[in-house]
A and B are shown apart, each in its own frame.
Chain A
Amino acid sequence: MDNFFLLLGMALFTLVLLCLYRGVFGPGVLNRMAGICAIGTKTLVILLLMGFIYNRVEMFIDISMVYAFLNFVGTITAAKYLEIKGEA
């Protein structure tokens, strides 16, 4: 079962790399922001998978929830900032 979680995590990690490409080289601010938000959701699942591998799911659920909350707030803050700067 651990191998399955490991493979799943590695597959997600390759997707994270693809999103990271968009985040670093993406033309324009909005593409970068979208890429980073996608990385956030994938990191959430990777954290949970790590919890399953280390048999400490309850601890990693706490961490991933904080990650989700702060990702949400951070995305909204960045979007508001860009909206007011008008740098779309």
Chain B
Amino acid sequence: MTRVTDDIIIRAVARILIPFIQLYALYVIMHGHHSPGGGFQGGVIMGASFILYLLTHGLEEAKTRMSEIRAGVFSSFGLLVYSGIGLLCLILGSNYLDYGKLSTVLKVIPAQARSLGILGVEIGVGIAVMAVMFSIFFDISTGGILPEDEEDLGARDG
């Protein structure tokens, strides 16, 4: 599924559409507390944009934008943001993910601190979901074997 084909129409349309999909994903993440959406949905759309790039431009070009290693780093980073905000609340002396206490750090009223805390957690969730979506698709489409792995296997056999 990662073979490069010369579908000019799909390549050109995807090329123009991908930036707008990515911006829309960020919009869904950032406006999660006003309109439908949130971290998970935005992350899925973001992951879909990278999957679209992989489908239309092939594995080699997709690796320059989002490689498997980078996806792993991003998924851990998203989890770090999520749990970091939760632990920060715990350190400040309230429950896990109780954003009200963040007002002492952010120097704003508790209601606004809650809004900002939820936004931060959603950004973390979005990054993690995006990376995990992409890496699941990557693993399925390559069958877990990358071209360089195949070369290694061949060398070992020979």
Q: Hey, which bits of chain A sit against chain B, CB under 8 A?
A: 58-59, 62-63, 65-66, 69-70, 72-73, 76-77, 80-81, 83-84
Contacts and interface: CB of A to CB of B under 8 A. Distances in A.
B51 interface: yes
Contact of B37 (A62, A77, A81): A62
Given A66-B41, A69-B24, A76 B52 contact: yes
A30 B94 CA distance: 57
Given A62-B28, A77-B55, A80-B55, A69 B21 contact: yes
Contacts of B21: 69
A65 B3 contact: no
A43 B16 CA distance: 24
B35 A62 contact: yes
B45 interface: yes
Place the interface of chain B in its size category: 10 to 19
A58 B10 CA distance: 29
B47 to A, nearest CB: 10
Given A65-B24, A73-B48, A84-B3, 7 more contacts: A62-B28, A66-B41, A72-B52, A73-B51, A76-B52, A80-B1, A80-B55
Interface of B: 1, 3, 5, 10, 14, 17, 21, 24, 28, 35-37, 41, 45, 48, 51-52, 55-56
B45 A66 contact: yes
Contacts of B1: 77, 80-81, 84
